[in-house]
Amino acid sequence: MPELPELEVISAHLTNLLVGESITKVSVHNPLVIHGLPIDDFIQGAINERFDSFRADGKFLIASLENHDLVVNPMLTGRFRVIPRHKKPTKVDMFSIQTSGHTFWYSDTKKMGRVYLVTRGDYSNVAGFANRGPSPFDTILTSNFFQERLKHHTGQIKNVLRNQRFVKGIGNAYADEILLYAGISPFRKCSSLSHDEVEQLYTAMKKVLIKIYDILQTRTLDDIAVEKRDFLMIHNRGGEICPLCGGRVSEVRANRYKTNYCQTCQK
């Protein structure tokens, strides 16, 4: 699942490749991911407009055109690619946008993503966009602000980290990484955390996400699209060795989500 660090790097790649190029053709290969507009309106609304900018906003990627914003929530399996030519779409390709020099592809193996074309700056019809918390990279999210926000949330700390109303952009994988670095069990109740532990969590969140962002900056769009997360310390490593203490990594599954943690390092 693309989380905030991936989407920040993806937006930078797309900026370098596509900003300034005009859209000559829009093709919807599977309409399941298109929301808010009839397919013909989605296609016609973007044609002849120019890519002005790309940015990450939590778990959303926003491509600003001259009069519209293309808003993509890639959910679990949405992926982005740019190739210098058009190709025959595969069964996982949802839509493609051609310019004079490139083709921008969005694919989604589970077809769970949500894609909108909206009037520029108007996100009122984008599901899940309103009432989100600040980005972990936002300067407004100081340690004191983080402490105060956490007081208004209950339940297990991992679930709160993944709650976009608390902070936006953290998903299942990076919540596991942050909690290992902080030394906090994912199953701890928020109310059980001391002031110092919340400070540790805040510091871990910043350091882990910045470290991941720095690693991803060296990778291509194709590397990110295949979810090459070989840098993860604990997530998806159930039964392997904890890199911090040498113990075994535990794994718990609930619904479609997996939690990995170290019983020795995380209390």
- The CATH number covering residue 24 comes to 3.20.190.10
- Considering the domain architecture, whether residues 93 and 177 belong to the same structural domain is answered as no
- In this structure, which amino acid lies at residue 154? T
pLDDT tier for residue 114 given thresholds of 50, 70 and 90: very high
Does residue 137 lie in a domain region? no
How does residue 1 score in pLDDT terms, banded at 50, 70 and 90? confident
Residue 76, both tokens: 């679990």
What's the farthest any 2 CA atoms get from each other in the chain? Answer: 58
Domain of residue 100: give its range: 4-119
Q: How many contiguous H segments (helices) and E segments (strands) does the chain have?
A: 7, 10
Q: Which helix (H) or strand (E) holds 98?
A: strand 93-99
Confidence of residue 228 (pLDDT cuts 50, 70, 90): confident
- Evaluate whether residue 138 is within a structural domain: no
**Residue 110 within a domain:** yes
Q: Are residues 87 and 193 both part of a single domain?
A: no
Residue 129: inside a domain: no
> 108's torsion region: left (phi>0), alpha (psi -120 to 50) or beta?
beta
In this prediction, residues 117-126 reach a mean pLDDT of: 98
Claim to verify: residue 149 and residue 183 sit in the same structural domain = yes
Give the mean model confidence (pLDDT) for residues 157-162: 98
Angle between helices 195-216 and 4-18 (to 10 degrees): 30
Contact 29, 95 (CB under 8 A): yes
Residues 159 and 252 in one domain: yes
- Encoded tokens for 6: 């991936």
What is the pLDDT of the chain when averaged over all its residues?
96
32-72 pLDDT tens trace: 999 999 999 999 999 999 999 999 999 999 999 999 999 99
Please indicate, yes or no, whether residues 147 and 258 belong to a single structural domain of this protein. yes
Residue 254: which of 186, 174, 195, 168 has the closest Cα? 186
Residue with tokens 């918390």: 133
β-partners of residue 61 are 56, 72
Q: What is the number of structural domains in the chain?
A: 2
The answer on 88 and 148 residing in a single domain is no
Closest CA to 82 of 175, 184, 150, 13: 13
Given 64, 84, 119, the domain boundary residue is 119
For residue 51, what are the contacts with CB-CB under 8 A and spacing of at least 6?
Answer: 14, 18, 19, 20, 21, 22, 23, 63, 64, 65, 99
Q: Is the pLDDT of residue 161 over 80?
A: yes
| Amino acid letter, 56 | A
